[in-house]
Amino acid sequence: TFYVISAIVVFIAGICLSISFRALPNSYEIIMQTLATTIITMAILAIISITMALIIYKKIVEPMSRMLRSANPYDKLDYLQTDDEDLDEVIEGLRKDLIAANNQKKQTDTILKHMTDGVIAFDMDGKVTYINPAAKYMLELKDTDSTFEKIFSKYKDINMEKIIYLENWTSSEQKIENNQGTMSLFFVPFKDEINRPTGVLVVIQDITEHVKLDNMRKEFVADVSHELKTPLTSIKGFSETLLDGVDDEKTKTHFLEIINDNADRMEKLVQDLLTLSKYDNKKDSINKTEFDLGELTKKCAEKFEIEVKKNNQKLECFVTADVPKVYADIDGIERVIINIISNSVKYTKESGKIDVYVGFVHNDAYVKIKDTGIGIPEKDLDRIFDRFYRVDKARSRKLGGTGLGL
């Protein structure tokens, strides 16, 4: 438009000048010079106009077109590009697409609302634009916590500007701890079509269980090392003493008994670890058969007759109902019954009583063991199935326990 208007003005001005110069001497030369000047001026105007048009298109028109296309999902629809389409059809098409977009938004909101992970979205001003219930629970947020600063100000090294503008030089993951446990926070900047930041998305995961398992693994390795080191130290110490020479046969025999006891303890520990490894890796074959649970329990109890008499204890087994045959892994069930009866015998004082009951309720067969032993303090009940955990470690080692049986 600029070029056309300018060209018309220059062309009319050139013609007017040519007409006005006709009466002058050497008018022909003056008119030719004027026309040449007009043509050159129009060419220069053309170059300037084309250059301006390219700059305006690259800097303004093209970015705006992209923005409008992304903002309006309907500009690519066929019925909007057809000039002769009926207006009612256009409105109906828009209505259907609006309903579809609204349904999709509801589905997304429903998914985010019921996710176990927390999700929070912030705009460039740090204001919350979306938050799901899981995020509120995990971060213990109140209704007044509506900005990035209010939510994360109590945690160190969490800065919105760093996340947005130093994305490649700063960590996008953070770990925090609160009353709900340990949380992993993952920060992702929002960006538009021309790669400009428009906000930040935060995804929150509860990794309390993972941290607990990792700590248990570390404790397990430390406990195994300690349990193996103690008997090895004893064996090494007494064997070195024997190698240096011990004249007294009674002392020598005593030292050898200690070495043998510690070797037995190590063997039992290694065997328990191998059994545990088989269960963990599901490599232990399970052979299910039908068997009489009452008879199996009685046989398990009979194995402790000598030890019970030695401790002046009383061990009785009662089958309280007509228990049908059970279908299970007989070796695994036997291992469990022996382990629990063994614990009762170990931790029941002399002249104590141990009763074993076998019964049947509805569709469940059960084995119940009751003793007059020292018991387990209530504060330790939650940890009785932890590996290597023993309430009284000194007494457990003396009695040969490893803390892996249960």
DSSP letter string over 331-342? HHHHHHHHHHHH
Q: What is the model's pLDDT at position 292?
A: 92
Structure-block tokens of residue 122: 């912030």
C-beta separation of 138 from 207 below 8 A: no
- Using CB atoms within 10 Å of the CB of residue 219, give its burial: 0 to 12 exposed, 13 to 18 middle, 19+ buried: middle
What residues contact 197, with CB distance under 8 A and at least 6 apart? 124, 164, 165, 189, 190, 191
Range in 27-41, 264-278, 330-344 the model is least confident about:
27-41
Range in 183-197, 232-246, 380-394 the model is least confident about:
380-394
What percent helix, strand, coil does the chain show, rounded to 5? 55, 15, 25
pTM: 0.46
Range in 86-95, 113-122, 361-370, 391-400 the model is least confident about:
391-400
Q: What is the rounded CA–CA span in Å between residue 366 and residue 326?
A: 10
Range in 25-34, 271-280, 292-301, 342-351 the model is least confident about:
25-34
* Helix runs in 245-289, H state only: 249-280
Q: Average pLDDT for residues 321-329, to the nearest whole number?
A: 88
- pLDDT tens digit string along 24-37? 455 556 656 666 66
- pLDDT tens digit string along 58-77? 766 666 566 555 544 444 44
**What ranges make up the beta strands (E) of 150-264?**
173-178, 181-191, 197-206
